[in-house]
Structure 1
Amino acid sequence: MNKPFIPMVLAAVLATGCATGNKQLYDWGQYEQTLFVVYHEPEYKEQALSDYLAFVQTHNGQGTLAPGLYAEAGTFLLEQGDVGGAVDFYKMEYEQWPESRPMLGILIENLEAQQ
């Protein structure tokens, strides 16, 4: 067998092994499609946001909801004027992702002071 051929076969086998079993770490739902619709197809924005909020509210725990999705839902509600709903989603993000606590703690406190 030709010696240069062996490293090529070994590289191919290793690359194939690395490519299998690619499970997603987080559940993103239809996040990308929702953002596209929100920014590029305004006539469908309300339905896309409604579907997104339903997904986040009813997430069934089959995997971890991706970081920032609760906060994004809260921001959508805040833009619609629903401060109470926004605070609820910000609190969910605060509880799920400790890394977000410094920023969200201040945001929640300021929004609750406005109510």
Structure 2
Amino acid sequence: MTKQFLFTLSMCVLMTGCASHQGLYDWGQYQETLFVVYQEPALKEEALKNYVDFVETGGTPQHPIAPGLYAEAGTFMLEQGDVDSAIRFYRMEYDAWPESRPMLSTLIKNLEARQ
């Protein structure tokens, strides 16, 4: 009976841990957006607008925006020719994730020099 009790208890703990896992970061609809951007050109504009809106307003202190998502939004803006918005998103990434600063500082400086 003790083995069965321990097994049941361990299964309950395991299932509870799996059910409550929310991840460290807020990814929003990142994967879906990438799919639409590269596979569904007719829906690209709407997907990018939704993605940018998410990045601008998403995240919480418990689940911040995932690393790289601000920079990805900046790259989307740069591809559309909106350099000012690209720089703004790159700065958001720079501020949020210190490990990205060496690359982003160079990128931001180069974009500002071109303006």
Using structure 1 for the length normalisation, give the TM-score: 0.85
Tell me how far 1:6 sits from its aligned partner.
Answer: 8.9
The yes-or-no answer on 1:52 pairing with 2:51 is yes
Structure 2 CA distance, aligned partners of 1:37 and 1:52?
11
1:27 alignment partner, SS class: coil
Structure 2 CA distance, aligned partners of 1:18 and 1:58?
29
Q: Which amino acid aligns with 1:35?
A: L
Q: Which amino acid aligns with 2:79?
A: E
Structure 1 CA distance, aligned partners of 2:59 and 2:98?
21
The yes-or-no answer on 1:43 pairing with 2:73 is no
Q: Which moved more, 1:19-28 or 1:63-72?
A: 19-28
Which structure would you say has the larger Rg?
1
Residues 26 and 59 of structure 2 are in contact (CA less than 8 Å); yes or no, is this contact kept in structure 1? no
Q: Show structure 1 runs of 5+ residues with no match.
A: none
The yes-or-no answer on 1:77 pairing with 2:77 is yes
Structure number having the greater helix percentage: 2
Cα distance change, pair 12–96 in 1 and its aligned pair in 2 (3 A) = same
* Percent of matched pairs sharing the same residue: 57
Structure 2 CA distance, aligned partners of 1:60 and 1:10?
35
Tell me how far 1:58 sits from its aligned partner.
Answer: 1.9
Q: Which amino acid aligns with 1:92?
A: M
